[in-house]
Amino acid sequence: MADHFGAPPSALDLSESHIPRNNAVAVSLTLVASLAVALRLFTRARVQRVPWMADDWFILASLVPTYASLACIIAGRSGLGRHVWAASIEDYIHINQIGFIYILVYFLTLPLIKLSILLFYRRLFAFWIPRALYLCIFLTIGQSVACIITSLCACRPPSHVWRQWVEPQGGSCVIDMNLFQLVTACINIGTDLLILALPVPLVWRLQMRPLQKGLVVGVFLLGSFVCVASAIRMWYMVRLGHNRDWTWLLGDAYVWTAVEPCIGIVCACLPALNPLVRRGLQRIGLMSAGAGGSGSSPIPTPTPTRGETGDRTRLYGRRTQKGRTGDGRRYRGDETLLRTAATVEMDGLRRAGEGELEHMQGHQRGHAGPGSCGTAGSASATKEGELEIQVQTDFQWREEHR
């Protein structure tokens, strides 16, 4: 292929190949990602005994394009990972055909993983959902759609992507795909960092010890390895634009393109595996059966019990039916809505002095019933009201008497 790329360097071994190594890495990471998803779904179904939620279905769906990525790498054994001077024109056409499919699969895999993570945040932090979460969902879907459309319309006709080696005048490419992939890689890293930072302020608002908050944040930030994989892939894409031996570098770039979603799947599944890890530690005696909550488990996870979302249950004088609150609204399987009626009697209280206010508060605490609560520091009359508390069953509570 000296006509296209000049003579090869004199010290270059043209029989050298990275194909076995690339295939081994891709297969191993795909198996690890599949195992992580299987353990996550097993934890939900058998350990927690709760139905799969939207985030579980999205992470399961992400395996389909992940397997397609593996198939593309294996199918490129004729040229990917070999030196360009050792390949033929037919190999170039085959590699570009695979690359055309591979880039579409890549732009489909990442949004499924990101949406799974964002929906997991929405389920875990249902008590306070920031607008940034919906912004991330919009950016993820919008970027995926835009990148797929751009890839399909980059060359006219699309077949010119691989036919350019035999028919240079048969079409044209209006977009530099190498530059396009560099830009999308930068955008991916930016959205990844935004998604990683999203739960930090939410976790920091929880009533937990600082050390435990740090552990929880650390688990969520494990996804930063995805940003590292994205940066390495971007580095190979930069080198591709300035190197004649593009088939050699493209094999490494494709491997890191497969590494990125596989690591993303594993990182997305790690927080959901906490109940399984806790169960295993209890089985081998490293954790007591009653341990949990604030001291033993960095990630709060649901531990449902019978009757939690079961038949009619009376909560503070109000009936709830299966899957519904007292006013008929549905709630999700990972949440329990507790409704309490709070009656506050502040008769005759206007602008009392400090001593009179303390006397009234003490009088209220002495006469408060099971469904009543007194308010401290209030300076105006309050009519009978209803307090709705939404409690995530992902959190385990433990009372400590000191």
Give the integer Cα–Cα distance in Å for 73 and 104.
Answer: 14
- Mean residue pLDDT of the chain comes to 74
**Nearest by Cα to 127 from 394, 395, 391:** 391
- The answer to whether position 124 is within a domain reads yes
The pLDDT value recorded for residue 139 is: 92
Cβ atoms of residues 298 and 387 within 8 Å: no
Residues 263 and 340 both lie in one domain: no
Q: Look at the chain and report how many structural domains it folds into.
A: 2
User: Which distant-in-sequence residues (6+ apart) come within 8 Å of 402 by Cβ?
Assistant: none
- Given 278, 302, 323, which residue is the final one in a domain? 278
- The answer to whether position 368 is within a domain reads yes
Phi, psi values for residue 242, rounded to 5°: -130, 25
- Given 252, 278, 304, which residue is the final one in a domain? 278
Lowest mean pLDDT among 152-156, 183-187, 219-223, 390-394: 390-394
- The answer to whether position 252 is within a domain reads yes
How confident is the model over 128-170, as pLDDT tens digits? 777 888 899 999 999 999 999 999 999 988 888 888 888 888 8
The pLDDT value recorded for residue 362 is: 54
Residues 269 and 364 both lie in one domain: no
Residue 203 is part of which domain span?
2-6+14-278
Residues 56 and 187 both lie in one domain: yes
Residues 178 and 35 both lie in one domain: yes
What is the enclosing helix (H) or strand (E) of 155? Answer: strand 155-156
- The answer to whether position 135 is within a domain reads yes
The pLDDT value recorded for residue 118 is: 92
Phi, psi values for residue 310, rounded to 5°: -95, -135
How confident is the model over 325-375, as pLDDT tens digits? 444 444 443 433 322 222 222 333 333 344 444 544 555 555 544 444 444
The pLDDT value recorded for residue 77 is: 75
- The answer to whether position 65 is within a domain reads yes
**pTM value?**
0.70
Residues 236 and 344 both lie in one domain: no
The pLDDT value recorded for residue 14 is: 83
Residues 241 and 338 both lie in one domain: no
Q: Tell me the longest C-alpha to C-alpha distance in the chain.
A: 99
The partner residues of 314 in beta bridges, in order of sequence, read 319
The pLDDT value recorded for residue 380 is: 40
Residues 58 and 175 both lie in one domain: yes
Give the integer Cα–Cα distance in Å for 39 and 33.
Answer: 10
Residues 120 and 226 both lie in one domain: yes
CB burial class (10 A; 0-12, 13-18, 19+) of residue 248?
A: buried
Residues 105 and 46 both lie in one domain: yes
- The answer to whether position 306 is within a domain reads no
- The answer to whether position 152 is within a domain reads yes
The pLDDT value recorded for residue 62 is: 95
Residues 88 and 212 both lie in one domain: yes
CATH number at residue 145: 1.20.1070
CB burial class (10 A; 0-12, 13-18, 19+) of residue 393?
A: buried
Residues 227 and 326 both lie in one domain: no
Q: Is the peptide bond before 157 cis (omega within 30 degrees of 0)?
A: yes
Q: Read off the tokens for 352.
A: 């009392």
Lowest mean pLDDT among 15-29, 94-108, 194-208, 266-280: 194-208
- The answer to whether position 157 is within a domain reads yes
What is the enclosing helix (H) or strand (E) of 320? Answer: strand 318-320
User: Which distant-in-sequence residues (6+ apart) come within 8 Å of 322 by Cβ?
Assistant: 309, 310, 311, 312
What is the enclosing helix (H) or strand (E) of 400? Answer: none
Residues 208 and 321 both lie in one domain: no
